[in-house]
Structure 1
Amino acid sequence: MAVVAASGGGEVAYDGRSLIINGQRKLLFSGSIHYTRSTPHMWPYLISQAKLGGLDAIDTYVFWNIHEPQPGQYYFSGRRDIVRFIKEVQSQGLYVCLRIGPFIEAEWSYGGLPLWLHDIPGIVFRSDNEPFKFYMQNFTTKIVNMMKSEKLYASQGGPIILSQIENEYQNVEKGFGNKGPPYVRWAATMAVGLKTGVPWVMCKQDDAPDPVINACNGRTCGETFVGPNSPNKPAMWTEHWTHFYDIYGNITKVRSPQFIAYHVALFIVNKNGSYINYYMYHGGTNFGRNASAFMLTSYYDQAPLDEYGLIRQPKWGHLKELHAAVKLCSQTLLYGSRTNFSLGALQQAYVYKGIKGECAAFLVNTDAANEAEAQFQNRTYRLPPKSISILPDCKTEAFNTAKVSTEYNTRTREAAVKLNSPLIWQELDEVIAVYDDTSLRSNILLEQMNTTKDTSDYLWYTASYQQFNESQPVVMRVNSDGHVLRAFVNGQLIGSEHGTFRNQSFSLAKNVTLRKGANNISLLSIMIGLPDSGAYMERKAFGLTNVRIGDKDLSNYSWGYQVGLLGENQHLYTIEGSIKVKWHKFTSSPRPLRWYKSKFDAPKGNDPIALNLGSMGKGEAWVNGESIGRYWISFVTPQGSPYQTWYHVPRSFLKPRDNLLVVFEEEMGNPLGISIDIVSISKVCGHVSTSNPPLIDSYVKHIGRRPRVELHCPSNKNISNILFASFGSPLGDCNNHVVGRCHSINSTSIVERACLGKKMCSIPSSHKIFGGDPCPGVLKDLLIEAHCQ
């Protein structure tokens, strides 16, 4: 057993089976919730729903670039208040895994590194490089000392039981040659030397130096994890992806609750896994300009808690039931002995025996296409394709990963405030930069990040081009390394182009007619976030790489530069800045690069709020000076729909009345189509079968449920209508259903009496409840769908 020295608090150690907390082995379920992607107002609710879902711990990265945006200037308030977040987790009785990094990737701008590191002479990120190691150690020490001063490590009686140094380094290590391995050893030694009193992990680092634990990230770690690199280390899964991040230009597949649950159970039996962290449990929102290149503002909306914090069923409920079933076995799993034997060609039994005769079993069917009938201890079990049955007493199936019996729900958005009157909007055109008005000059095309220092997405490249002949058409070609370009000649837009996540370089070629004499060439280069990963990030370059007019190469021409937009410099998006300029009445003639502002009253109630920007093109939006993120409606999926239409506006951003909405529109969107929408759970559905095996009493007590349909409306809504009810043999599922051949005619009336007007109701799947058996000898299902209002 590896013991991490404690200092007056709880001892955290580990052995080859699990983490050991205060002398007890622990089988832990954790979930990632990032403090920066939600708000302090949301934190208590998010954490409580995670705990209710059966989690033992909350996992979060530490975001270096928001805490130290300039060297030595630290910020830890508002959404940056990591101490407050951890104390909230502690107050609700959960542990914390603190992933300091400080490189985190996380689909976060620059992987969490502050851009000023880029300017340190001789620096090479994430390698055996003295400048980088100096600043990395400074920040890591700063965070560790902050946690110590607040007594937040478990060794001090706090909730932090685990810390992480670096992040998925093995993905890039080969790129650094002989500078990679010594950096890994240095990082481990540095972290352990900070004496936190709790273990450290490195994820995706199969050779993590002792005593640092190597951990797995991915979708299927029960199949792919090589295992701990020492028999004295436990198997840990630091990122079990509940979805996958969404990016412009790529459609990700939704991961089903059955898929997620199967791989959790497989990791436990196949790899002796004892720590599983869901990434993400709540994804949240990339407010401001924090999303990395081509990432959506919405982050992991398909997690068990959606972007707004609403429970996403059946994912949340199915995993809750999984956690309950596994916890019934935990002592046997952690302290017992294991044997495994074949139940068939693609079926396996894993049997755990405790020291007092306890018995638990996991019956695994790895056949993805066929159900299996397995004989185990003189009983027959039907195992659906690609599923695992959990038998906490080696007899009764408490849970099967493929059988979803929890309720389903449907999220809807409804316009509460429509901003469709021209009278409530004002507008202001952004000034197109021209060469004569610029003070920054160069005879080369400057690299964008070096020039803007990430103070803005926008960089104007301007030139005054002399045409000596009479007006004539000519081809202007611009090459760029990302990400978006809007080209103007003499104040007129001649064209736009953009790259993609996979190929951020692109070209724009347009016919233009130049007038005789001076012509203003104004090229607006736009970045959609900074890169977040890869070797030698400090060498990555963006912006324009070549400009040609006809056969003339202007790359070494005299260029003038303007960093950012005039409206940004004037802070038009703030209440103070917006009143310092003269806005104009709204006109029905759109043009690119225009600011819009309006005011609205907050919708009543506590439901989450979203800004519907479906009528816009591309830009950024602010509410009361708070950026709710970039939007890009005009970038559509192969099916022709926007990747994201609704943008989360946290309630804490709002006042009761006169909330300032400012939108900067790059293209020619129409703000009259914008609305303030309420987001809510509008429909709930449950489906159970009497063919499901009876639940053992201890499991029923643990999750508070027997085979029955339970419907739960949100706290501010009641069940207003029964949309479908059938006890018998309904066809389909909660997504699509009809009455089958066997159906109790009393189904709807019985359910209405039990449920209408209530926030929740529970209907047993029993013919006694429905006034008799509509078809004796036939196994019955109960399927109910209800509307919440």
Structure 2
Amino acid sequence: MVVLHQKVVVERWWRCSFLALILTASLGAVHGGDVTYDGRSLIIDGQHKILFSGSIHYPRSTPEMWPNLIVKAKEGRIDVIQTYVFWNLHEPHQGQYDFSGRRDLVRFIKEIQAQGLYVTLRIGPYIESEWTYGGLPLWLHDIPGIVFRSDNQPFKIQMQRFTAKIVNMMKSANLYASQGGPIILSQIENEYGTVESSFHEKGLPYVRWAAQMAVGLQTGVPWVMCKQDDAPNPVINTCNSMQCGTKFKGPNSPNKPSLWTENWTSFVEVFGGKPYLRSAQDIAYNVALFIAKNGSYVNYYMYHGGTNFDRSASAYVITAYYDQAPLDEYGLIRQPKWGHLKELHATIKSCSKPLLYGTQTTISLGPQQQAYVFKSSSTDCAAFLENSGDMDVKIQFQNIWYQLPPKSISILPGCKNVAFNTAKVTVPSNTREMKSQIQFNSAEKWKVYREAIPNLDDTSLRANILLDQISTAKDTSDYMWYTFRFYHNSPNAQSALSVLSQGHVLHAFINGVLAGSAHGSPGDKSFIMENNVKLTPGRNYISFLSATVGLPNSGAYLERRVAGLRSVKVQGRDVTNQSWGYQVGLLGEKLQIYTASGSSKVQWESFQSSTKPLTWYQTTFDAPEGNNPVVLNLGSMGKGITWVNGQGIGRYWVSFHTPDGTSSQNWYHIPRSILKSTGNLLVILEEESGNPLEITLDTVYTT
């Protein structure tokens, strides 16, 4: 039992009225049309706001899914939808833009607007986001003298051009709040503070330039920089963390509000890694604490994660993105996370008046207990009673006794009755089930095409060095062949092969026959494949297939990253600097045999009882009845890529097990909007020796 201590510490966002008057006179409230801010919160149409936001990324779902996702967010008491802008998706080739389908940013924002929610637009244009190359288009790599995210003129020219294009597109559609639209915040750059020191004297000038450039575009709404303690005025520095209530240093000016741009609802998953499961109680506790400490905007990253379609995921990241968010990969509500946070939002909103306009008093209730009390009048009061300890405690507040569970906050809208406790979940949990609808267990249902193994004589691109895969393949494929000839004169057929690679996966072929495979892991930038291989007397053709599983997405000097083979030794002899032949991508990719038209360009064969590496599999299926999400169970496969009706539904890597021996992801989402009622074309590229006869098409249910 902990008894109330009489020591009172007064803290408020205007805690020094004299200082506040000086700051107001010199700086004033920052105006952005209908959106302004001061030291307490954003001000929209003249009203201070406490806002709850949820990240939903338009290209990680389909336009047909957007309305339902936004409706469910709104039902969860979300006020704002936050999204990045994906530069490499919109400008895959310099000067050639694409805003169609899943890329239709304007349509997405208008859908949000139609449902009465606000938007935070994180333009970046570097975004990280577990998106390949951090969202930067690979063609930037080839601009002479460029250094990404630095006080570097070639990069700044391109960054400003794309940022201005997005801003002007939003203005043309009247989407900024200053025009009557839903966008209330914009973001420039992304977590630059984590790498700024790596750029030395080129870091801070870049930050100042980026802020000035963004503000100069005159969006009419405030700009933010996350994880950027030195964000120049009037740009607001914001927090990204799971615990911004304790870890955020706070705004770098008393005239700026406390904003939390990324509250991670789980964490990104990688192939071979165990999922991180964050509880609804932990999220709610940290949100309540942030609000109690004068926070006024909390964004959940992600509220809906979605799917990394095609080859969009960054290095080693699985296809399902933030599946443990309040809305799962398919847009289904995940309980109790969704419901518990909904109740939290409603409770905090009921305290809006004292929170936004009252004076805050912090009262010690014990060694690990305290009360955050907000009063705006004799009747308007709200209190947050916190127990940061690991045991239940009984505390006295305003002559009333309260029981506080460990690591929890009780919210008292009238400073008397507990309306919500972060550790007490009243929402029933639900579970997700996959029900098999179609089994592809008949060999007659499948056709196969064996990918050709090229040798040196088949290649036209040659070099006497090992080429970098990233700068050579230019993100047109995950795959690149390295081929050479080796003359074997030893009477011993067994020879040692040693390869150092900075790709993610490597397959070695000797005279067209698989001789070994190896792969790296998310924590290693390189790996070594060492095998004893069988060579024939005389000339041998050695071919290596190097595969990247997404490009890197974070860190300084991204333009310097390399992938692929770095050194090769055969029988102890270094053959790194000899004549090599190269082929970017696979023949099946070049012919687009995963499409209806491309499929006819090759000779498909009947399925045999045995499976071989580098095989394309093709079949057709009818769409399951109903509206439940559709998924492909690839638990019997190894590693590869899948397409349905020509649409890439992502990479799979079932054979890369987590430490407990399970696959990182077995089920792969097929959005219903890409399905026809009958005759859907399924094509799978399998690198290893997976068994397609055990694949099933399932539908997803929650109970």
TM-score by length of 2: 0.95
Q: Aligned partners of 1:539, 1:667: CA distance in 2, in Å?
A: 31
Q: Secondary structure at the match of 2:496?
A: strand
Partner of 1:129: 152
**Per-residue deviation at 1:4?**
5.0
- The aligned amino acid for 2:313 is A
| Alpha carbons 1:100, 1:140 under 8 Å: kept | yes
> Does residue 485 of structure 1 match 2:506?
yes
**Per-residue deviation at 1:250?**
2.4
Partner of 1:786: none
Q: Aligned partners of 1:572, 1:201: CA distance in 2, in Å?
A: 45
**What aligned pairs does 1:635-650 form with structure 2 within 5 A after superposition?**
635-650=656-671
1:94 paired residue among 106, 111, 117 = 117
1:404 paired residue among 402, 425, 428 = 425
| Alpha carbons 1:335, 1:355 under 8 Å: kept | no
**Per-residue deviation at 1:492?**
1.0
> Does residue 416 of structure 1 match 2:429?
no
Can you list the C-alpha shifts for 1:489-527, whole angstroms capped at 9, x where unaligned? Answer: 011111100011110311111112211221010000000
Q: Aligned partners of 1:651, 1:81: CA distance in 2, in Å?
A: 18
| Alpha carbons 1:470, 1:515 under 8 Å: kept | no
- The aligned amino acid for 1:177 is H
Partner of 2:16: none
> Does residue 203 of structure 1 match 2:236?
no
> Does residue 596 of structure 1 match 2:617?
yes
Return 446-455 or 244-253, whichever deviates more: 244-253
**What aligned pairs does 1:13-92 form with structure 2 within 5 A after superposition?**
13-92=36-115
Partner of 1:708: none
Q: Aligned partners of 1:291, 1:638: CA distance in 2, in Å?
A: 22
Q: Aligned partners of 1:358, 1:3: CA distance in 2, in Å?
A: 25
Q: Aligned partners of 1:507, 1:251: CA distance in 2, in Å?
A: 24
**Per-residue deviation at 1:604?**
0.1
Q: Aligned partners of 1:417, 1:521: CA distance in 2, in Å?
A: 41
Partner of 2:643: 622
Q: Aligned partners of 2:559, 2:161: CA distance in 1, in Å?
A: 19
Return 440-449 or 247-256, whichever deviates more: 247-256
Partner of 2:5: none
Q: Aligned partners of 1:561, 1:470: CA distance in 2, in Å?
A: 30
Can you list the C-alpha shifts for 1:81-107, whole angstroms capped at 9, x where unaligned? Answer: 000000000000000000000000000
Partner of 1:581: 602
**Per-residue deviation at 1:3?**
4.7
Partner of 1:353: 375
**Per-residue deviation at 1:380?**
1.1
- The aligned amino acid for 2:194 is N
Count, aligned residues: 677
Aligned-pair identity (%): 64
Can you list the C-alpha shifts for 1:271-311, whole angstroms capped at 9, x where unaligned? Answer: x1000000000000000000000000000000000000000
> Does residue 338 of structure 1 match 2:338?
no
Can you list the C-alpha shifts for 1:222-242, whole angstroms capped at 9, x where unaligned? Answer: 000000000000000000000
Q: Aligned partners of 1:100, 1:444: CA distance in 2, in Å?
A: 39
Q: Aligned partners of 2:534, 2:179: CA distance in 1, in Å?
A: 72
**Per-residue deviation at 1:5?**
4.7
Q: Aligned partners of 2:93, 2:31: CA distance in 1, in Å?
A: 35
| Alpha carbons 2:273, 2:664 under 8 Å: kept | no
**Per-residue deviation at 1:471?**
5.5
1:506 paired residue among 522, 527, 532 = 527
| Alpha carbons 1:30, 1:275 under 8 Å: kept | yes
Runs of at least 5 residues in structure 1 that lack an aligned partner in the other structure: 684-789
Partner of 2:12: none
**What aligned pairs does 1:281-292 form with structure 2 within 5 A after superposition?**
281-292=303-314
Can you list the C-alpha shifts for 1:408-438, whole angstroms capped at 9, x where unaligned? Answer: 1010001011111111100010000111010
**What aligned pairs does 1:71-470 form with structure 2 within 5 A after superposition?**
71-270=94-293, 272-355=294-377, 357-367=379-389, 369-470=390-491
Return 149-158 or 419-428, whichever deviates more: 419-428
- The aligned amino acid for 2:385 is L
Q: Secondary structure at the match of 1:236?
A: strand
Q: Aligned partners of 2:621, 2:419: CA distance in 1, in Å?
A: 51
Q: Secondary structure at the match of 1:456?
A: coil
- Of the two structures, which has the highest relative contact order with CA contacts closer than 8 Å and spacing of 6 or more? 2
Q: Secondary structure at the match of 2:346?
A: helix
How big is the alpha-carbon RMSD for the aligned residues of Structure 1 and Structure 2? 1.0
**Per-residue deviation at 1:343?**
1.4
Can you list the C-alpha shifts for 1:222-269, whole angstroms capped at 9, x where unaligned? Answer: 000000000000000000000000012322431100000000000111
- The aligned amino acid for 1:165 is I
Q: Secondary structure at the match of 1:409?
A: coil
> Does residue 652 of structure 1 match 2:658?
no
Q: Aligned partners of 1:561, 1:602: CA distance in 2, in Å?
A: 40
- The aligned amino acid for 2:453 is I
**Per-residue deviation at 1:580?**
2.5
Q: Aligned partners of 1:635, 1:242: CA distance in 2, in Å?
A: 25
| Alpha carbons 2:634, 2:668 under 8 Å: kept | yes
